[in-house]
Amino acid sequence: MAKIIECIPNFSEGRDREKIEKIMDTVRGKEGVKLLDYSSDTDHNRSVVTLVGEPSKVEEVIINMAEKVYELIDMSTHEGGHPRMGALDVVPFVPISEVTMEECVEIANRVGKTIGEKFNIPVYLYEKAATASHRENLAKVRKGQYEGFFEKIKEEMWAPDYGPKEVNVKGGCVAIAARQPLVAFNVNLDTSNVEIADKIAKTVRHLGGGLRFVKAMGVMLEERNIAQVSMNLVNYEKTAVYRAFEMIKMEARRYGVSVVGSEVIGLVPMKSLIDCAEYYLQIENFSMDQILEKRISE
């Protein structure tokens, strides 16, 4: 089998379709790389891209994407509901086939060094690529966001791994990682009170004493006038999607609020959804070998 990695770059533009498409043109039709998915959210003012390919080709595409992102996005005027620290906000690399996590760490370092030097951007490594334990968690790295980094970067413990020791006013900073696959899963509530979503998120997330491997925050969806609990499940095999969903429903009842829908952002492993079907349908003795498409593709 060929060496394959996945990369899920997030950039801080979700409203200007012309800019988004110009950035995506740096990915489309590139040899050795396949664009699997991309989606934009106007409330978050953010786009999430999923691509796979040969490691060296993916590295090349990410650098080209970064160049276009830094050309088109100005963080000094950016507003959005999702935490962010830079125009190119996060760039996680995930091993898929014949690639080790250690190799993804090396890729994260190479890409980080190039972005830091070529575009004059402070670079922070997180998850498996982190250079210190306090940098493993993206939420801790990104705390303070773009606006807060002008002071945060002056602290010795938050000096960047690559690039200058001052924030790039236009481009901000970037966080780059090597990590396992995660599930980005959001739950919408029938309330316009974002404080309720914040309280539920605090209860559900691991840092608040909630579910292990769950990161959560409250977000206001202005266009729909509803609040949302936005989550990353960083180990869906140990904390299943349905478990987080049921806990949110339970906590929402405390405030007289109901769940009106949910959404998956980007691509997710099939098993994460099969686990939900198995749970809700109470299927006994189920096996992945019973999935028609899986057997056909073997």
SS (H, E, C) 195-209: HHHHHHHHHHCHHHC
DSSP secondary structure code for residue 190 in this structure: S
Q: What average pLDDT does the structure give for the chain?
A: 96
- Single out the residue in 128, 145, 178 at which a domain terminates: 178
Mean pLDDT over 275-285 rounds to 94
* pLDDT of res. 291: 87
Mean pLDDT over 17-43 rounds to 96
Whether 24 and 139 share a structural domain: yes
- Our measurement of the distance from residue 53's CA atom to the centroid of its chain's CA atoms, rounded to an integer in Å, reads 19
* pLDDT of res. 1: 65
> What is the residue range of 42's domain?
4-178
Q: Is 290 contained in some domain? A: no
Whether 47 and 103 share a structural domain: yes
Residue 89 banded pLDDT, cuts 50, 70, 90: very high
Q: Which domain CATH number covers 164?
A: 3.30.990.10
Whether 146 and 173 share a structural domain: yes
Q: At what angle do helices 55-72 and 101-119 cross, to 10 degrees?
A: 30
List, by residue number, the catalytic residues.
Answer: 82
pLDDT exceeds cutoff 70 at 42: yes
What percent of the chain shows pLDDT beyond 70?
100
Question: What single string gives the DSSP state of each residue in 16-66?
Answer: -HHHHHHHHTTTTT-TTEEEEEEEEETTTTEEEEEEEE-HHHHHHHHHHHH
**What type of residue is 43?**
D
pTM for the predicted model, two decimal places: 0.85
Q: Is 293 contained in some domain? A: no
pLDDT exceeds cutoff 80 at 197: yes
pLDDT exceeds cutoff 70 at 239: yes
pLDDT exceeds cutoff 80 at 98: yes
Residue 210 banded pLDDT, cuts 50, 70, 90: very high
- Single out the residue in 115, 150, 178 at which a domain terminates: 178
Q: Dihedral of CA 154/231/130/172: which sign?
A: negative
* pLDDT of res. 118: 98
Q: Is 289 contained in some domain? A: no
Residues 6 or more apart whose CB falls under 8 angstroms from that of 276 comprise 240, 241, 242, 245
Name the residue among 23, 25, 30, 19 with its Cα closest to residue 54. Answer: 30
Residue 47 banded pLDDT, cuts 50, 70, 90: very high
Asked if residues 87 and 172 have their Cβ atoms less than 8 Å apart, the reply is yes
- Give the separation between CA 176 and CA 125, rounded to whole angstroms: 5
- Give the separation between CA 186 and CA 246, rounded to whole angstroms: 13
Whether 142 and 197 share a structural domain: no
Whether 77 and 201 share a structural domain: no
* pLDDT of res. 264: 94
* pLDDT of res. 267: 86
* pLDDT of res. 207: 87
Whether 253 and 155 share a structural domain: no
The three-class DSSP label of residue 143 is: coil
125-180 pLDDT, tens per residue? 999 999 999 999 999 999 999 999 999 999 999 999 999 999 999 999 999 999 99
pLDDT exceeds cutoff 80 at 68: yes
Count how many domains the chain has.
Answer: 2
Mean pLDDT over 197-213 rounds to 95
pLDDT exceeds cutoff 80 at 298: no
Mean pLDDT over 245-272 rounds to 95
